Structure 1
Amino acid sequence: MTFKLLTFNSQWMTTLHTDFVQRAFTAGILISIAAGIVGYFVITRKSTFAAHALAHIGLPGATGAALLGIPVLWGMGLFSVIGALIIGALGKKASEREVATGTVLAFSTGLGLYFANMSAGASKQMQSILFGSVLTITSDQLVIFTTVDIVLCVVLLAIFRPLLFSSLDEEVARAKGLPVTALGVVFMVMMASVITVAVPTVGTLLIFALVITPADTAAMVTRSPLRAIVMTMIICLVSIWGGLIISTMFPMPPSFVIVTISTVIWLIAKSIKALKK
């Protein structure tokens, strides 16, 4: 067995100025905004399993799109949103959502593998879907990311207060007459959109590093919703940009470095919180 040693890239500054790396930096900003908007509510609503599941629910959409020769991101987004609608509609309460999420996840994973076995191209596409590749993001994808960010900001401004109320205490919000089920469906669609945007960076297997881990870190540092959202964006951006810079300096997969940075920040916050108790 041989091990590949890490060799320093003396031309890393030049590499950082290439078009594909610059697009990756821009994507980092856009993805961080999206993750920050939704991440806080994922933690507050205890929807981490749903967030992880939605990334995999989009798998058959991605492999199916590869079969049909259409953009993978569109296929993945469509299936993720459909899955979000089904989970949101079937699971009116948190306990019901867990069952609905698991059921939809199992079916979608099986369907994704079936599509992958039908075509060599779809099977090959699974590698990038599972692990991501931030350095292959295109200009067209940046346009999609920007559009998603704008829509998310508009929707959040419109439903921020009732969504926050229902996230903190679902039963009281329901008793007050708030449309808890409808808010849940809207939030699930928002989460599906963010995950679809984030998957090209770290893939479905590592999606926690961008959507969940930074948000949980921020929640440990501050109880203010707005501060937590902003802090989530910052942590997410530091993880992505730091991962890009380090993986340019040394021959390491960007996804691995991004996940590592996000996890290290989370561990530091967790340790500090434990010491204060």
Structure 2
Amino acid sequence: MGILGQIFGFDHYGELLALAQDALLAGALLGLVGGLAGVFVVMRDLPFAVHGISELSFAGASAALFLGMNIVAGSIVGSLVAAGTIGALGVRARDRNAVIGIIMPFGLGLGVLFLSLYKGRAANKFGVLTGQIVAVATPQTAWLVGTSAVVLVVLAIMWRPLTFASADPEVAAARGVPVRALSLAFMLVLGLAVALCVQIVGALLVLSLLVTPAAAAARLTASPVVLPLLSVTFALVSMEGGLLLALGSTLPVSPYVTTISFAIYLGCRLAGARRTAGA
């Protein structure tokens, strides 16, 4: 049996697919959330913030795992603490990056501490870091769906003013747009989005849903309408494709999601470069 035979096994794929309907639904919601939030992550130059939030989300999830509490709730609390701190203290880019650089090792250290103290299944520890498909095939699905709905509703409400504030904050502020309040509100929404994505792809690889699809879409278009549509499409393809491959595999879902997402980015980068050269 070759390496592929050891990794993939589609003998009972139909049965597994029938059992993974909740996972696929949650994955679609996360693709939608990641694709939309990622547009502003790219516009506002916040990939580093996503990584910083994910570290404290990891700490919250690890603490919840150690204490026997709801992991999704712990992840959300950790994300909101990090996002609120970054949003409140990091007004300027330089200040924000300094705050993130302080939060990241602190969150990672706390997460490692709680995982070291946890005496349960090793798979649970591994899943917090790299994600696992069963994380959305449990009663935690309700948390994921509910939080996704909150993120999508808030994004819809502040989409236009946030787009204006992200494109030209000085002009937006001069016209009465509450730029600072919008910035803090988006950081909190981003915290929720990070917590959601951590459940699937893990704390270490969350950028593949919240940065890569939007960055890929930005290589093809700058249209305020087409950009989010492409970003959501790329995030959905990465998320659902990764889940479908993971169903017939012995590997976690995260390598598939990240690989598909990266392949899409490379394709868009090449297409964008050819279009620029042709022009």
Deviations 1:206-256 (A, max 9, x none): 111111111111122222233222222211111122223333445443221
Q: RMSD between aligned alpha carbons?
A: 2.1
Amino acid across the alignment from 1:83: A
Q: Residue 218 of structure 1 aligns with which residue?
A: 217
1:122 shift after superposition: 9.1
Amino acid across the alignment from 1:117: S
- The answer on whether the counterparts of 1:63 and 1:123 sit within 8 Å (CA) in structure 2 is no
Greater shift, 88-97 or 141-150, is seen at 141-150
Separation of aligned partners in 2, 1:75 and 1:117 = 17
- The answer on whether the counterparts of 1:64 and 1:122 sit within 8 Å (CA) in structure 2 is no
Size of the aligned set, in residue pairs, is 274
Spell out the pairing of 1:76-225 with structure 2 (5 A cutoff): 76-121=75-120, 125-225=124-224
Deviations 1:144-188 (A, max 9, x none): 222122212221232122211111122332333422221111111
Name the SS of the counterpart of 1:120 in structure 2. Answer: coil
Q: Does 1:33 align with 2:6?
A: no
- The answer on whether the counterparts of 1:165 and 1:173 sit within 8 Å (CA) in structure 2 is yes
CA shift in 2, pair 1:13/1:124, >3 Å? closer
How high is the TM-score relative to the length of structure 1? 0.90
Amino acid across the alignment from 1:6: L
Amino acid across the alignment from 2:173: R
Q: Does 1:71 align with 2:70?
A: yes
- The answer on whether the counterparts of 1:67 and 1:122 sit within 8 Å (CA) in structure 2 is no
Amino acid across the alignment from 1:17: L
Structure 2: segments with no counterpart, 5+ residues:
none
Separation of aligned partners in 2, 1:241 and 1:10 = 17
Name the SS of the counterpart of 2:270 in structure 1. Answer: helix
CA shift in 2, pair 1:4/1:251, >3 Å? farther
Amino acid across the alignment from 1:202: V
Separation of aligned partners in 2, 1:182 and 1:112 = 30
Name the SS of the counterpart of 1:221 in structure 2. Answer: coil
Q: Residue 6 of structure 1 aligns with which residue?
A: 4
